[in-house]
Amino acid sequence: MTRQARQASPQAGFGLIELMIAMGLSLFMLLGFSVVFVNMRQAFGAQNQLAQLQDNERFLLIALTTTIENAGFFPDPVNSTAETALPATNASGASFSAGQGLTGADGAAGGSDKVTVRYVSASGTGLLDCLGAANTSGHDLLMTNTFSISASNELLCSTDGGATTVALVGGVASMTALYSVDISGSGQTYQFLKASEVTAGDYWSRVKTVRITVAMLNPYAAQAGQAATLSWRQIINVMNKP
Of 190, 191, 177, nearest to 235 by C-alpha is: 177
77 falls within a domain: yes
Closest residue by Cα to residue 218 from 42, 53, 41: 53
Distance CA 117, CA 101 (A): 6
What distance in Å separates the CA atoms of residue 107 and residue 76, rounded to the nearest whole number? 35
- pLDDT in the model for residue 221: 87
Is residue 140 packed enough to be buried (19+ CB in 10 Å), middle (13-18) or exposed (0-12)?
middle
- Give the pLDDT confidence of 18-71 residue by residue, as tens digits: 777 778 888 878 887 777 777 777 666 667 777 888 889 999 999 999 999 999
Question: Is there a domain that residue 145 lies in?
Answer: yes
Whether 8 maps to a domain, the answer reads: no
Q: Is residue 12 part of a domain?
A: no
Number of separate domains in the chain: 1
Residue 35 belongs to some domain of the structure: no
Supply the pLDDT for residue 13.
60
Query: 132 is in which domain, residue-wise?
Result: 46-237
37: in domain:
no
- pLDDT of the residue at 158: 95
Please report whether residue 28 resides in a domain: no
Q: What is the pLDDT of residue 177?
A: 97
Global pTM reads 0.80
- What pLDDT is recorded for position 47? 72
pLDDT at 51: 82
Do the beta carbons of residue 195 and residue 180 sit within 8 Å? no
Ranges under pLDDT 70 in the chain: 1-14, 42-46, 92, 240-242
Does some domain include residue 150? yes
